[in-house]
C-alpha cells in the first residue's frame, strides 16, 4: 500500500495512514499508544508486505515498550523468525537483545544472540569477527533449548575448524557427539567427521582414523565419498604413501568443484614427500579449477590457506627451472596468505622473492616493476611489518633504475 507519492517517515505517520485508510477500524487508533495489539497488527502487516522496511525496527520497539515484558519479547521472536530478509531479522534481534538485557530476560538474551550469530556467521568475509559473537553465546548457553544447543555447538565447531582453531573445535564437536539424540543423528555424524579433520590437521592420525571409523557407520549419501578421501589422506600420513597417491589420483577424477583444492593440496603433499617433483608439477593443470572453487560463498580461510600453500610449494618446485614463474607463484602465495591474516606465512613466501632480488637473479625490469607494485599493495595489509616491506620495495626500485 502507498500514500500517494509520499512514504511515511515515522511510526506516527504510518499510524495516521492506517487510520485514514482503514475507516472501519479507525476507532482502534484513537488511543493508539495504549494498544500493543494494534501496533503488533501493524508490525505483522509490514513484515508481510515489506512496504516500509526502514520503519520495522521502530514499530517493533514501540510494541516492546507497550507489551507485557517477556510475553511481548516471546511474540516478537516468534514473528521475526518467519521473516526471510536477514537485514530486518538482525535489526529486530539487536532490539530484542538490548531490551532483554535492560530487563534481565536471560532466555531472550540467549535467543537473540544465538539467532544473530546463526545469521551473521554466514558472512564468510567476516569469520573472525562473527566467531567472537559466537563465543558470547556461550555465556548464555544454559538458557537455550536442547536442540538449539546441538545446532549451536555444531555451528561454532565448524566455525572454529574453518578458522583453523582446532583446539576450540574439538570440545564443541564432542558435545554434539555426546548429546545429539535425534533419530537420524545427522549432527552427530558430521561432528565425527569434523573431529576426524581436526585430529588430522593437528597430526593425531590415530585419533583421526578412529573418528573416521565412527563416521563411516552412518548411511548418509555423502559419507562414502568423504570416507574415501580421508582414508587416502590418513593412509599417506601413516606411511603408505604409494597407496595414498593411487587413491587420491582416483578421487581427483570425480571430485566436486568444492573439494578440488583439498584433494590437490593433499596429493601435492604426498608427491613432495616422495620428492616426485615432476608429478607434483603436473598438478598445475588444476590451478584454474582451484581458483574458481574459491568463488563459492562457503569458502573458508582454511581453504584459502591450502591454495596459498599450493602456490608456495609450486614456487619451490619451479625455482631452479623457471625463476620468473616461480616468483609469480610466491607472490600469489603472499597475497593469499595476507588476505586471510596469516602474515607470518605471507612474509615467509615474500622472503624467497627478496632473496632472488638480492642475488640479482631477476634481470627483467618489467618483472621487477610488477614485484615492486605487488609488494607495496601487500604492505597495506602487512602494515606492522612495513619497514621490511619498504626495504624490499626499495630494492626492487633500485634494481629497476640500474
Residue ranges covered by each domain of the chain: 1-120, 300-402
pTM to 2 decimals? 0.79
Rounded to whole angstroms, the Cα distance separating 268 from 265 reads 5
Rounded to whole angstroms, the Cα distance separating 217 from 223 reads 9
Rounded to whole angstroms, the Cα distance separating 316 from 323 reads 10
Residue 257 confidence (pLDDT): 86
Please report which confidence band the pLDDT of residue 24 belongs to, taking 50, 70 and 90 as the band edges: very low
Q: Which residue has the higher pLDDT, 30 or 289?
A: 289
The number of CA neighbours under 13 Å toward the Cβ of 12 is: 0
Q: What is the pLDDT of residues 81-97, one digit of tens each?
A: 888 899 999 999 999 99
Q: Which residue has the higher pLDDT, 385 or 311?
A: 311
The number of CA neighbours under 13 Å toward the Cβ of 335 is: 13
Residue 19 confidence (pLDDT): 54
**Phi and psi, residue 6, nearest 5°:** -110, 130
Residue 118 has pLDDT above 50, yes or no: yes
Q: What is the pLDDT of residues 283-320, one digit of tens each?
A: 999 999 999 999 888 788 899 999 999 999 999 999 98
Rounded to whole angstroms, the Cα distance separating 254 from 226 reads 12
Q: What is the pLDDT of residues 177-234, one digit of tens each?
A: 999 999 899 999 999 999 999 999 999 999 999 999 999 999 999 999 999 999 999 9
Amino acid at each position: 500500500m502507498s500514500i500517494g507519492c509520499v512514504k511515511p517517515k515515522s511510526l506516527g505517520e504510518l499510524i495516521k495512514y492506517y487510520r485514514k485508510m482503514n475507516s472501519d477500524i479507525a476507532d482502534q487508533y484513537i488511543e493508539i499508544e495504549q494498544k500493543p495489539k494494534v501496533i503488533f497488527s501493524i508490525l505483522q502487516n509490514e513484515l508481510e508486505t515489506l512496504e516500509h522496511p526502514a520503519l520495522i525496527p521502530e514499530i517493533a520497539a514501540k510494541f516492546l515498550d507497550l507489551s507485557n515484558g517477556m510475553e511481548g519479547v516471546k511474540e516478537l521472536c516468534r514473528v521475526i523468525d518467519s521473516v526471510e530478509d536477514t537485514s530486518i531479522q538482525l535489526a529486530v534481534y539487536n532490539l530484542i537483545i538490548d531490551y532483554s538485557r535492560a530487563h534481565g530476560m536471560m532466555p531472550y538474551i540467549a535467543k537473540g544472540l544465538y539467532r544473530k550469530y546463526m545469521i551473521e556467521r554466514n558472512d564468510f568475509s567476516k569469520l573472525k569477527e562473527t566467531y567472537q559473537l559466537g563465543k558470547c553465546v556461550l555465556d548464555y548457553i544454559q538458557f537455550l533449548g536442547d536442540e538449539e544447543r546441538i545446532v549451536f555447538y555444531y555451528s561454532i565447531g565448524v566455525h572454529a575448524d574453518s578458522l583453523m582453531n582446532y583446539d576450540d573445535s574439538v570440545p564443541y564437536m564432542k558435545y554434539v557427539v555426546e548429546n545429539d539424540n535425534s533419530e537420524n543423528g545427522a549432527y552427530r555424524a558430521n561432528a565425527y567427521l569434523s573431529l576426524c579433520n581436526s585430529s588430522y590437521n593437528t597430526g593425531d592420525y590415530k585419533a583421526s582414523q578412529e573418528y573416521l571409523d565412527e563416521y563411516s557407520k552412518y548411511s548418509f549419501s555423502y559419507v562414502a565419498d568423504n570416507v574415501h578421501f580421508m582414508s587416502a589422506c590418513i593412509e599417506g600420513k601413516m606411511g603408505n604413501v604409494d597407496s595414498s597417491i593411487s587413491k587420491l589420483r582416483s578421487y581427483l577424477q570425480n571430485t566436486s568443484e568444492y573439494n578440488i583444492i583439498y584433494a590437490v593440496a593433499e596429493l601435492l603433499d604426498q608427491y613432495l614427500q616422495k620428492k616426485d617433483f615432476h608429478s607434483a608439477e603436473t598438478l598445475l593443470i588444476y590451478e584454474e579449477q582451484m581458483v574458481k572453487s574459491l568463488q563459492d560463498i562457503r569458502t573458508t580461510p582454511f581453504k584459502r590457506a591450502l591454495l596459498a600453500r599450493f602456490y608456495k610449494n609450486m614456487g619451490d618446485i619451479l625455482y631452479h627451472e623457471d625463476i620468473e614463474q616461480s616468483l609469480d607463484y610466491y607472490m600469489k602465495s603472499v597475497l593469499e596468505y595476507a588476505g586471510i591474516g596469516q602474515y607470518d606465512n605471507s612474509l615467509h613466501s615474500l622472503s624467497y622473492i627478496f632473496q632472488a632480488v638480492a642475488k640479482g637473479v631477476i634481470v627483467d625490469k618489467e618483472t621487477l616493476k610488477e614485484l615492486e607494485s605487488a609488494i607495496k599493495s601487500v604492505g597495506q595489509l602487512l602494515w606492522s611489518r612495513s619497514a621490511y616491506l619498504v626495504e624490499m620495495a626499495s630494492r626492487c626500485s633500485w634494481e629497476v633504475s640500474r
